Amino acid sequence: MEYQVIWFVLWGLLWAVYFMTDGFDLGVGILLPVLGGDDTDRGVMLHTIGPVWDGNEVWLVTAGGATFAAFPGVYALLFSTLYTPLLLVLFALIVRGAGIEFRGKGTTESWKRRWDTAVSISSTLIAFLFGITFGNLFFGLPINADGYQGGVAGLLNLYGILTGLLFLLLFSVHGALWLAWKTEGALAARAADFAGKAWAALAVFLFLFLFYTASTTGLDRNFTAFPILLGFPLAALAALAGIRFFMGRGRFLGAFLASCAAVLLTVATGLAGLYPNLVPSRLDPAFSATVFNASSSPYTLKIMTVVALVFVPIVIAYQVWVYRVFRHRVSASELAKDEDGY
């Protein structure tokens, strides 16, 4: 197998794992004003992600670094065509991190509420803007010999907006299931109830979105040519059904793991349809950035493969250890003992 193909798979996997892990963090932030009945509830919600949210963002750094090193042409093209949404994502990531860390540094209700609002708005923006970004990649950009032929407003096309809404729904369900598993009492009950209602909306939206994708984008070509790839969307739908199955039995860890699979497989479905393109041109396929014309040299990719084989398992082992250490549920009484003051 060529190294360009290997790194397309690794590149896609890194992005999918990022959305799977940081997705529930973003979901918790999105749901702060929805499920956080009072200051204590909001503190508990943030405490559930406190030990893991920054570790989850390691996958974003890794995915961005892999894009720069493996496909420098794509990295340059993305930050010239999608500069505004990606810059807004960066600002929102900064605000979210500051909000999570600074919330507990003050004692007044107004101080905490302002940072809660900042975390919620920034989490919503990150999810929606990443959806806009990947939606435009799936839809294709107006690129020709003279470069990008669109503006910021052109990125707000119907397909991009719908992909942004899909990310919001997907991460909201993901975050609600995390809270239903990690919290207790009335908060856990509200999270479970929200997850059930949002799941129904997500199921309908996802079915309609898949049909719209097939009729609007060129992502269906690979699935027609290689029917084995249909395993990705079918597995994603099976994972979606698994969420409902486990929720109906009150097994929220199982439902959360099914949600992890649904996020992972939904992203994998889009990327499987995208190959070999990375940034497809809507105007002329000859101007698309692909894994072959926008990659680094084979020698560079070979070295990167060795580095990835050494360090990625270390990152995975570290994260498994962190999740194991902080696997217990979070309660209001535990929050009162926390020195970080979430």
- Work out how many domains the chain is built from and give that number: 1
- pLDDT in the model for residue 123: 97
* Res. 196: pLDDT tops 70: yes
What is the average per-residue pLDDT within 26-35?
Answer: 96
85 or 335, which is more confident: 85
pLDDT-derived band of residue 257, with 50, 70 and 90 as boundaries?
very high
Q: Distance of CA 297 to CAs 2, 14, 309, Å?
A: 11, 20, 19
- Give pLDDT, residue 149: 82
pLDDT at 337: 59
At residue 341, the pLDDT reads 55
Which of 44-53, 99-108, 110-119, 251-260 has the least mean pLDDT? Answer: 99-108
Q: What is the band of 340 on the pLDDT scale with cuts at 50, 70, 90? A: low
Mean pLDDT of the 203-208 span: 91
Backbone angles phi, psi at 249, to 5 degrees: -105, 10
- Could you list the residue range(s) of the whole structural domain that residue 137 is in? 3-337
pLDDT at 335: 61
User: Which whole number is the average pLDDT over 25-45?
Assistant: 93
Question: Using 50, 70 and 90 to split pLDDT, how confident is the model at 17?
Answer: very high
Q: What confidence tens digit (pLDDT) does each residue in 272-299 have?
A: 999 999 999 988 888 899 999 999 999 9
pLDDT of residue 195: 96
**E strands of the chain, at which residues?**
143-144, 147-148, 277-279, 289-290
For residue 56, give the 3-state DSSP assignment: helix
Tokens describing residue 248: 């109906």
Burial of residue 184 (number of CB atoms within 10 Å: 0-12, 13-18, 19+): middle
Domain for residue 193, yes or no? yes
Kindly state whether residue 161 falls inside one of the protein's structural domains: yes
Q: Is the pLDDT of residue 339 over 60?
A: no
Segment 5-22 mean pLDDT: 95
The answer, yes or no, to whether residue 331 has pLDDT greater than 80, is: no
Give pLDDT, residue 169.
96
Mean pLDDT over 205-221 rounds to 89
Strand partners, 330: 183
pLDDT class of 92 with cuts at 50, 70, 90: very high
pLDDT of residue 338: 61
**Residue 55 to residue 207: CA distance in whole angstroms:** 32
Per cent of the chain over pLDDT 70 is 96
Q: How confident is the prediction for the chain on average, in pLDDT? A: 91
92: left (phi over 0), alpha (psi -120 to 50) or beta: alpha
The pTM score is 0.93
More reliable by pLDDT, 210 or 123 = 123
Mean pLDDT value of segment 84-93: 94
Is there a domain that residue 297 lies in? yes
pLDDT at 285: 87
Assigned token pair, 71 = 């496909």
The radius of gyration of the chain's CA atoms, rounded to the nearest angstrom, is: 20
> pLDDT band at residue 336, thresholds of 50, 70 and 90?
low
Within a domain: 295: yes
Domain assignment present for 67: yes
Does 342 fall in a domain?
no
